Amino acid sequence: MAYDINEDEFKAILKAAEDWPRADTLADFSYGTAGFRMRADLLDYVVFTVGLVASLRSRKCAGNAIGVMITASHNPAEDNGVKIVDPMGEMLMSDWEPYAKFMANARTPEQLRNCFMHIINTAQVHDHNARKVIFARDTRPSGARLVRALKAALEATNTEYVDYGILTTPQLHYLVKATNTVKMDKPYGEVSEEGYYKKLSKAFSEAINHATRPPSTPVTVDCANGVGAPKMKKLIEHLPEGALDIQIVNDRIESPEDLNNHCGADFVKTSQRVPQSFTGKAFDRWCSLDGDADRIIYYFVEEGKVFRLLDGDRIATLAAAFIGELVRKAGLDEVITIAIVQTAYANGASTKYVEQNLKLKVEFTNTGVKHLHHVAAMKDIGVYFEANGHGTVLFSERAVKAMRKHQPQSTAQMEALETLRALTDLINQTVGDALSDFLLVETILAHKEWTVKEWLATYTDLPNKLAKCLVTDRSAYTSVPGTAEQRLATPARVQPKIDEIVSKYRDGRCFVRASGTEDAVRVYGEAAEVYDTEDLVAKVCDFIGSYGGKSP
Ligand code: NG1
Ligand code: ZN
């Protein structure tokens, strides 16, 4: 059946679009790992079209609220980005990504009309359906202008909307799910930013209730000079008195140029160095959020200033081990299984530890949390983290029911069960969330009475390096399907050369893939020794530089 365009609506769209002309670029925009991301001054029209797509998506989803988040996460301050959030707080369904791309690349009113018609017809969108969009942005100054472009599209399409102002990305995901479950038996939480803090702090109090004592040492949080700073401060106001001793650094959101600049999770992880403003003494516990507070990584220095990273792989292994113990102690290990999902960027030593020590199954997916999330959602309990600190733990309906119904046979079983139930509320079920993951890690360290030293001692990371090569056309780099992006299909000559280089190093592993968020290809390498790793990655970068562009 053919669905017709509403001519009045389309007239209003064209009129509104006049204020947000498409940037005059030759290249097409693409909906990458985390939506559209680029220099903020190119984004006006893209955000406008995202508003149109979000409105159509809401109509398709029976009027449920769709989320739009304006952020460029860990990218520099001059960038920005936009992504769409589906009704249960998950990333936009992948079938719709081409629609978003198609619309953002329409260059004339005719093309825009064709795109609109195409979506309405292929996705079968009823014009008369209700439509609602909720949105927020991070602290980037360009966000305010982009919000105006978004509102223009929502108003032209007669879409009800709520502007939540400045939020972390996971807070917006929370609000989308809370909005759409408000009338259900089990609403996800109160539909407000306040409701988010209330939910987390209540769950945290319950989760540490059976710990012998709260962590006895302070923890310092580097907020990347981004939105995580004010939001972490608000969270602290809601936490039980004296539960955690939290210091905050890098909270200068009033100076945009400081955002992610020599600080934040991405800087610490990729440069394997402490951030600006670091004042930690040996074994002090520090962590860093990224620019939109969906990633977190921990680290510390040993005596002699040796830097030690506790990244996403460490959080995944810590969480899986702890939840596994609780499941066993609660007497549910016959009923509930746990799996870990990683990407090829996970350190090889972490994978070995999960399989050999924790005796859990590891599955690999392509980069991008939507892929990990999808696989983890199929497990009873699915723990997924990218090495960069983006991840969460998903509890299936089946697991939650089993925890609810289970009758504990002893006080120990009851305590384990209560802690487990608290974790299902503490851990953000929509997306990786630095604030929620922070409370999770602190809960686990309190229960285990661990310092960073014991946490680090669980396994030894293989030396590794992540580099970036600028190439003339990153789209020339495609991966072989089913290899979790560890092998290149094109350019044809590159993979054999990588294999040849890698074969010369003990425990060597190296792969190259096109970034979905930056105009570059990433080169990841691991080897038994630090100097081998450096050498391996440098050789591969050199080859790519000589082959397809210039290495930085
Ligand atoms: P790209 O640029 O596609 O490598 C990066 C991260 C992803 C994910 C996205 C979204 C690495 C190697 N890649 O993607 O894991 O977090 O950004 O922010 O860390
Ligand atoms: Zn982020």
Give the containing element (helix H, strand E) for 451.
none
Ligand showing the shortest atom-to-Cα distance for residue 468: 1
* For range 407-436, the mean pLDDT: 97
Q: What is the pLDDT of residue 24?
A: 86
Q: What is the pLDDT of residue 551?
A: 43
**Is there a contact between 506 and 514 (Cβ–Cβ < 8 Å)?**
no
Given the CA of residue 518, which atom of ligand 1 is nearest to it?
2
Q: pLDDT higher for 368 or 163? A: 163
The CA angle 43-49-53, to the nearest 5 degrees, is 135
Q: 7-166, what's its fold?
A: Alpha-D-Glucose-1,6-Bisphosphate; Chain A, domain 3 (3.40.120)
Let me know if domain 202-309 sits in CATH 3.40.50.2300.
Answer: no
Please count the other Cβ atoms lying within 10 Å of the Cβ belonging to residue 14: 12
**Is there a contact between 50 and 84 (Cβ–Cβ < 8 Å)?**
yes
| pLDDT single digits (tens) 26-35 | 788 999 888 9
Provide CATH 3.40.120.10 ranges for the chain: 7-166, 202-309, 312-456
| pLDDT single digits (tens) 53-88 | 999 999 999 999 999 999 999 999 999 999 999 999
Q: What is the pLDDT of residue 516?
A: 85
> Can you name the residues that pair with 173 across neighbouring β-strands?
none
Q: Does the CB atom of residue 252 touch ligand 1 within 6 A?
A: no
* Architecture of the 464-548 domain: 2-Layer Sandwich (3.30)
Ligand showing the shortest atom-to-Cα distance for residue 387: 1
* pTM beyond cutoff 0.75: yes
Cα 52 to Cα 2, 66, 152, 368: the distances in Å are 20, 11, 10, 24
| pLDDT single digits (tens) 279-313 | 999 999 999 999 999 999 999 999 988 999 999 99
**In CATH, what class is 312-456?**
alpha beta
Q: Is 73 a catalytic residue?
A: yes
Q: Does the CB atom of residue 371 touch ligand 1 within 6 A?
A: no
**Is there a contact between 315 and 427 (Cβ–Cβ < 8 Å)?**
no
Catalytic-role residue among 73, 142, 350, 436: 73
Region of 305 please: left (phi>0), alpha (psi -120 to 50) or beta: left
Closest residue (by CA) to atom 5 of ligand 1? 517
